[in-house]
Amino acid sequence: MEMYREYAPPVDSLACLWTRVVPADGAAIRVMPDACSDLIWRSGHGAFVAGPDTEAWLSSAPAGSVLVGARFRPGVGGPALGVPLSELLNQRVDLSELDPRLAGQLAPDLTMEAALERVAAAAAELARSLDPAMRTAVRRLDDPRARVELLADELGFSERQLRRRFHAAVGYGPKTLQRVLRFRRFLARADAGEDLSRAALDAGYADQAHLTRDCARLSGLTPSRLAIERTS
C-alpha cells in the first residue's frame, strides 16, 4: 500500500511537508500539475528539486524507497532556489547542481526522521526569499473571477515585466498559472465527492467542454476517467 502523508509546514511560504514510502510493487503514481516546486530527499539517492509541471507525469522509484519533501507555494520556488524557475520547468534536478552545500547536508543514508527535520529546516530557510508581488498575483489568479488581462495594470507592471517576473518566480506565464490553479480547485472539489459538473462550475470553468480540454491537457485523461483513477 502506498504510504503518503502531509504535515503542517514550518512557514507560510511552504504549502506542506510530506513523506512517501513506495509500496512493495513499486507502482508509479500520477503526479498532477499544482504550480508548486518541491525540495525532495530520497533514500539511497539524496536530494533533488522538482520544478513546476505543465502536464501530469508518472512518478516511480524502487520498492521500499522513502521520499521526504517540502513543497514551495506557487511563486515562491524561484526566489527560494535562486534560479529562474522556468529553467526547471518539467524537470527533476539534483540539488548538488543548484546548491552543493545544502546537498551535502541531505546525504542519501539519513533516516526518514532526520531527513524530514533537515528538509524542513532547509526549505524554511530558502523560503525567506520572496517576491511579494508574485505572491499577490498568485492569490488574485486563484480567484475564479480573476481576469488575466487586467493583472499587469493591477500590479503596476507592463505586460513584459509581468511575464518576466512570472517566469522567474512561478516558472511560466500568468495564463498557464490560472489554468493550473483552476484545475487544482476542480480536483479538490471532485476529490471531496462533489458532482463533476458542479465541481467544474465552482472551480471557474465556463462549461463541460472547457473542463474536458483542460483535463486532457493537464492530466492526459477525461474528467470521468481521472475521477475513477483517483478513487480506485
CB 204, CB 182: distance < 8 Å = yes
Give 16's strand partners: 71
pLDDT digits (tens, 9 = 90+) for 184-220: 999 999 999 999 999 999 999 999 999 999 999 999 9
CB 21, CB 3: distance < 8 Å = yes
Cell numbers at 189, concatenated: 472539489
Q: How many domains does one find in the chain?
A: 2
Query: Model pTM?
Result: 0.94
pLDDT digits (tens, 9 = 90+) for 119-136: 999 999 999 999 999 999
CB 19, CB 120: distance < 8 Å = no
Residues 12 and 109 in one domain: yes
Place of cell 503526479: 31
| HSE-CB for 22 with a 13 A CA cutoff | 16
Residues 111 and 136 in one domain: no
Cβ-based neighbour number of residue 93 at 10 Å: 15
Q: Which of 186, 181, 185 is nearest to 166 (CA)?
A: 181
Give 230's strand partners: none
- β-pairing, 29-31 vs 37-42, is unpaired
Last residue of a domain, one of 126, 142, 161: 126
Place of cell 525532495: 40
Q: Which domain holds residue 215?
A: 132-231
Q: Among 15-19, 108-112, 228-232, where is mean pLDDT lowest?
A: 228-232
pLDDT digits (tens, 9 = 90+) for 21-75: 998 887 788 999 999 999 999 999 999 999 999 999 998 889 999 999 999 999 9
Residues 138 and 117 in one domain: no
Last residue of a domain, one of 70, 93, 126: 126
Measured between alpha carbons, how far is 152 from 155 in angstroms, rounded to an integer?
Answer: 5
Residues 138 and 103 in one domain: no
Residues 99 and 116 in one domain: yes
